[in-house]
Chain A
Amino acid sequence: DGGITQSPKYLFRKEGQNVTLSCEQNLNHDAMYWYRQDPGQGLRLIYYSQIVNDFQKGDIAEGYSVSREKKESFPLTVTSAQKNPTAFYLCASTPRGRGSYNEQFFGPGTRLTVL
């Protein structure tokens, strides 16, 4: 079955450590996104990538980094520069073309907790 996988489901980090969240999709989608979700704030865009080897900052990119070396993969690194990283992180993807109407498909999420 096609879909988006995120790992791990739960992640604990000590202050000062970098951690990488995995996002893999086998939907053959071109664009991929990372969102951060905090209670009562909806989803906020961190980074997005429309094509391999290219990505852009979203609304809250400070303290995060990404790479897009393969179409299927879009890992997110939460660096020690992110002051408040405890949150639920969601990865999403969209196929190319106007027929997609920008509908996004979501992974199951990773809950990151800083100890």
Chain B
Amino acid sequence: AQSVTQLGSHVSVSEGALVLLRCNYSSSVPPYLFWYVQYPNQGLQLLLKYTTGATLVKGINGFEAEFKKSETSFHLTKPSAHMSDAAEYFCAVSEADMGRRALTFGSGTRLQVQP
């Protein structure tokens, strides 16, 4: 069974500082990996995804993530935080099992950006 662990339910950074949100997964087969962002009282928006190929994935709003198979990690980074980045971030994993096609989500990391 697949699972996702997000280390740190709350992360606080200063505006302009590096953002690092951690995600580790377990999967018995090569996974598809996703990062979603959620603003208060809204749905989830896709930031980026890893499917196959290049392990460094670039997404929207300057975010990127690197798939490291040996570490079973898919950490999300952004070089310089902006106030508008304050939101909750979810890492999710899916396996190439077309039977269910659901995502398994981590418990989320709330990012706070200090001025």
Cα-based distance from A76 to B78 in the complex (angstroms): 37
Interface residue from B34, B36, B102 paired with A45 (Cβ < 8 Å): B102
Task: Give bound CA distance, A103 to B59, whole Å.
Answer: 14
CA distance in complex: A104, B42 (Å) = 15
Please report the C-alpha to C-alpha distance between residue A88 and residue B106 in the assembled complex, in whole angstroms.
16
A98→B43 contact, CB < 8 A:
no
Q: Of A50, A98, A101, A108, which contacts B42 at CB under 8 A? A: A108
Least CB distance from A1 to B in Å reads 15
Within 8 A of B (CB), among A1-60: 4, 6, 31, 33, 40-43, 45, 48, 50, 56, 58
User: Which interface class (under 10, 10 to 19, 20 to 34, 35 or more) fits B?
Assistant: 20 to 34
Query: Are A109 and B103 closer than 8 Å at their CB atoms?
Result: no
Chain B residues in 8 Å Cβ range of A82: none
User: Which residues of B have CB within 8 Å of A50?
Assistant: 101
The chain B residue sitting closest to A109, CB to CB, is B43
Assess whether A106 is in contact with B107, with CB atoms less than 8 Å apart: no
Name, among B34, B49, B103, B106, the residue most crowded by chain A CB atoms within 10 Å (CB to CB): B103
Within 8 Å by CB of A109, from B34, B42, B105, lies B42
Whether A109 lies near B41 (C-beta < 8 A) is yes
- Provide the residues of chain B in CB contact with A107, threshold 8 Å: 43
B41 engages A41 (CB within 8 Å) = no
A33 touches B49 (CB 8 A): no
Which residues from chain B sit less than 8 Å from chain A, CB to CB?
A: 9, 32, 34, 36, 41-46, 49, 51, 90, 94, 96, 98, 100-103, 105-108
Give 19 A-B pairs besides A33-B102, A42-B90, A106-B36 with Cβ atoms closer than 8 angstroms: A4-B43, A31-B101, A43-B44, A90-B44, A92-B44, A94-B101, A101-B32, A101-B51, A102-B32, A102-B94, A102-B96, A102-B101, A102-B102, A103-B46, A104-B103, A107-B43, A108-B43, A109-B41, A111-B41
